[in-house]
Amino acid sequence: MPKVRSSNIGYPRIGEKREWKKSLENYWAKNISETELLDSLKDIRLSNIKKQKEAGIDLIPVGDFSLYDHVLDTAVSFGLVPDRFEYNGGEVDVDTYFAIARGTDSAVASEMTKWYNTNYHYIVPEITSAPTSLVHNRVLDLYKEAKTELDIDTKPVVLGPVSFVKLSKNQTDLSEQELIRSFIPLYAQLLQELEAADAAWVQIDEPFLNGQVTSSELDLLQEVYAQLDVAAPRLNILLQTYFEAVDDYEAIVNLPVQGIGLDFVHDAGESLKQVIKFGLPTGKILAAGIIDGRNIWRADLKEVKEIVDQLSVVVGEGQLILQPSCSLLHVPVTVKLEEELPEILKSGISFADEKLEELVALTNVANDTSDEQILEASAAAVKALNDSSSRNNEEVRALLAEVGESVPTRSIDAPERLRLQQEKYQLPLLPTTTIGSFPQTKEVRQQRLKWRKGELESAEYEQFIRDEIDKWIKIQEDLDIDVLVHGEFERTDMVEFFGEKLAGFQFTKFGWVQSYGSRCVKPPVIYGDVAFVEPMTVKETAYAQRQTKRPVKGMLTGPVTIFNWSFPRTDIPEGQVVNQIALALRKEVEELEKEGINLIQVDEPTIREGLPLKESKSQAYLTQSVDAFRLSTITVQPETQIHTHMCYSDFQAIIESIDALDADVISIETSRSHGELISAFEDFTYNKGIGLGVYDIHSPRVPAQEEIDRNISRALSVLDPKLFWINPDCGLKTRKEKETVEALQVMVDAAKQARKQLVTSPE
């Protein structure tokens, strides 16, 4: 056995050119059969495993691949299907699986929320009773498949029982600890079957360990893994953590498992300190996450090797594994397809395949089977990018210096602004609006592609966009929506669009990552100092406003969201990058206001998702986020109404910071969580406008008015009707035109009915 081995925690599912996405959507559109779907996905899955083997990875994950989401995979393995999907037991079929994730005409999809502080969404399991059986040992099938088809002995990957329950909705009468204990026999069976199939290692992910962990949770963890160790004594368990350092290092490394996986990238140096201070139990494996699994920058392997050298001193020979800091699910597949990137940038980035090359290079150097020349090359590439003019813009640095430490505020407080704005706009009670985007049809996408390829003149393309705006302004007026939007037909993605127009951003051609289900995004790369170049949204928004007497919202993406949904540079502090973006957006806000656009939405759907896992770090992050939002909106007149939008947020945790944003109107998702988020406002007096998304746009169904009525009534039980707005829970870009119009009509009818009831109800 080599003294150091390489491992991977997880690999992207989507394929180099999103082949996975295309197969799923073809199946949903009934263009291919279930057999054709499963065959195509098998090809991608096996190709991924083979590629990792050829790269030289020693421990290759299996079970990280998914038809939709790995948390949903775990739920259906135990037969955890909500009653509304009429599941009758046994292995969950493909259509039921997709129904849980996407909903049906008669059943609402399960809630979807962020995977810790990443840009990935998972389906939240609903557990109504203790599980009774392992209905499908999925990872066993995949392990056997790799062995049979490729003759590769892989490392099965499983989401651990403690994290799984904590990520779920416990709708049973059991306490959390009791519910976790009920899963132990089923996990034991799963592991025993893997052991019987001669699996050597299994990776059990317990990412909850990187947050705040109580002593009782540690005791329960000890109990769970002691029983699993006894159940499958010949199977090596690698307990995997990621996204932060663990606080209880000594307790965790002494758990009855054979290996511990720690993050050495997003840990602020704590993991290395802990290993050096406390050492590692004799014979236990340390899987060190030393290559960043969440960002795309090439590592300075000379610096990383210093960490490896220090670990090698503490960890015994044969006890060290090198791996990414987390699953490579969060980065694109390969740089090799990016033929149009500037060479200095291409040399400085690393996607999944390149990260595997970095791991193997470090492993080979550590095993004395390769010289260190490759380390020198990586250090030189990183230095060249850091020294480039794009990362040293003196004008941008001067603007940041002017901001200093001051916290910007608007000149008039929110209630007085609301009075002035109501005088100006004369909006009805419970005004209706949408979040911003309307359906991007095949024709819209084709026209944009033709224009980008030079096959369509700019004048023709602009006329096409104007025609789409005209069409949807009329649709909104016919629906009787109160505050309109232009529809964003010129935009590919809410972050990419702005990145294309700001200095300091670069775009890839195939740099896709999974967001949720088949939805893939291509995050911009923030590689240099960010600066405003010219107006970005004014032309289309001003045109839309000229077509109607109703107010039209300007639509911008906020600085924190642009940062969180990009691959940001890491050579300067995060706060500096966010404030650079905020200053650039402030110029755009000012340009919109000059053109008479006085309702401006600055979306910040990701503030909650970026919240650090450690509570001790949360306030600094929230303060920085609030300051950046204010920095982007501070200069508007009191009559200009600032809107913002947030998705899937645990508002109880950050309600004070949301209030501190000082936006005039905030719209938030609440449909999939069935109104639970409204409880955040029961104990907090919120004196600004608020729109709680009244129907779920992620599910391809038209809501019944009764569903929207319930959401409105629930909201009005705790919110002032004078402050309440009615809107969908998110943008409508991914929906079909017919369902969009029908759903919005139901929403408007529900709003009008609620207004009538408020007017006719006694005080």
pLDDT tens for 173-218 read 999 999 999 999 999 999 999 999 999 999 999 999 999 899 999 9
User: Which residue in 121, 266, 486, 698 is the catalytic one?
Assistant: 698
36 band by pLDDT with thresholds 50, 70 and 90:
very high
Structure tokens, 56: 């030289």
Q: What average pLDDT does the segment 290-308 reach?
A: 97
At 237 the pLDDT is 98
- Amino acid type, 276: I
Q: What's the whole-model pTM score?
A: 0.87
Res 31 pLDDT > 90: yes
Average pLDDT, the chain: 93
The DSSP call for residue 282 is: T
3-state SS class at 416: helix
Q: What average pLDDT does the segment 623-640 reach?
A: 94
What element of type H or E holds 687?
A: none
Q: Is 326 annotated as ligand-binding?
A: no
Pick from 250-264, 521-535, 716-730: least confident: 716-730
249 band by pLDDT with thresholds 50, 70 and 90:
very high
pLDDT, one tens digit per residue, over 724-737 is: 999 998 888 988 99
At 576 the pLDDT is 94
At 525 the pLDDT is 96
Q: Is 645 annotated as ligand-binding?
A: yes
698 band by pLDDT with thresholds 50, 70 and 90:
confident
19 band by pLDDT with thresholds 50, 70 and 90:
very high
Res 649 pLDDT > 80: no
Residue 139 has phi, psi (to 5 degrees) of -65, -30
Res 648 pLDDT > 60: no
- Amino acid type, 492: T
Pick from 84-98, 139-153, 234-248, 372-386: least confident: 372-386
Closest CA relative to residue 482, chosen from 548, 551, 419, 556 = 551
Q: Is 79 annotated as ligand-binding?
A: no
244 band by pLDDT with thresholds 50, 70 and 90:
very high
Residue 723 CB burial class (10 angstroms; 0-12, 13-18, ≥19): middle
At 438 the pLDDT is 93
Alpha helices in 367-413 (DSSP H): 373-386, 394-403
Q: What average pLDDT does the segment 423-448 reach?
A: 94
DSSP string, 222-280: HHHHHHHHHHSTTSEEEEE--SS--S-HHHHHTSSSSEEEEESSSSTTHHHHHHHHH--
How many other C-beta atoms are found inside a 10 Å radius of the C-beta of residue 33? 11
At 610 the pLDDT is 83
At 674 the pLDDT is 46
Res 718 pLDDT > 70: yes
Res 677 pLDDT > 90: no
Q: Is 21 annotated as ligand-binding?
A: yes
pLDDT, one tens digit per residue, over 588-612 is: 999 999 999 999 999 998 887 788 8
Q: Is 616 annotated as ligand-binding?
A: no
pLDDT, one tens digit per residue, over 227-241 is: 999 999 999 999 999
3-state SS class at 547: coil
280 band by pLDDT with thresholds 50, 70 and 90:
very high
Structure tokens, 762: 């006694």
Instruction: List % helix, strand, coil for the chain (3-state, nearest 5).
Output: 45, 15, 40
Catalytic residue flag (residue 698): yes
The DSSP call for residue 704 is: P
Q: Is 102 annotated as ligand-binding?
A: no
Q: What average pLDDT does the segment 649-668 reach?
A: 83
Q: Is 423 annotated as ligand-binding?
A: no
Residue 323 has phi, psi (to 5 degrees) of -155, 175
Res 312 pLDDT > 50: yes
Q: Is 32 annotated as ligand-binding?
A: no
Domains in the chain, start-ordered, CATH in brackets?
Answer: 4-389 (3.20.20.210), 413-757 (3.20.20.210)
User: In sequence order, what are the residues at sequence separation of 6 or more whose Cβ sits closer than 8 angstroms to the Cβ of residue 220?
Assistant: 162, 177, 180, 181
Q: What average pLDDT does the segment 609-635 reach?
A: 91
Structure tokens, 511: 């740099």
Give the residue with greater pLDDT, 718 vs 525.
525
3-state SS class at 201: strand
Q: Is 587 annotated as ligand-binding?
A: no
Res 53 pLDDT > 60: yes
Q: Is 30 annotated as ligand-binding?
A: no
Give the residue with greater pLDDT, 758 vs 8.
8
At 480 the pLDDT is 97
At 670 the pLDDT is 65
Closest CA relative to residue 510, chosen from 354, 676, 341, 677 = 341
Percent of the chain having pLDDT more than 90? 83
Residues listed for the chain: 763
Q: Is 730 annotated as ligand-binding?
A: yes
At 707 the pLDDT is 87
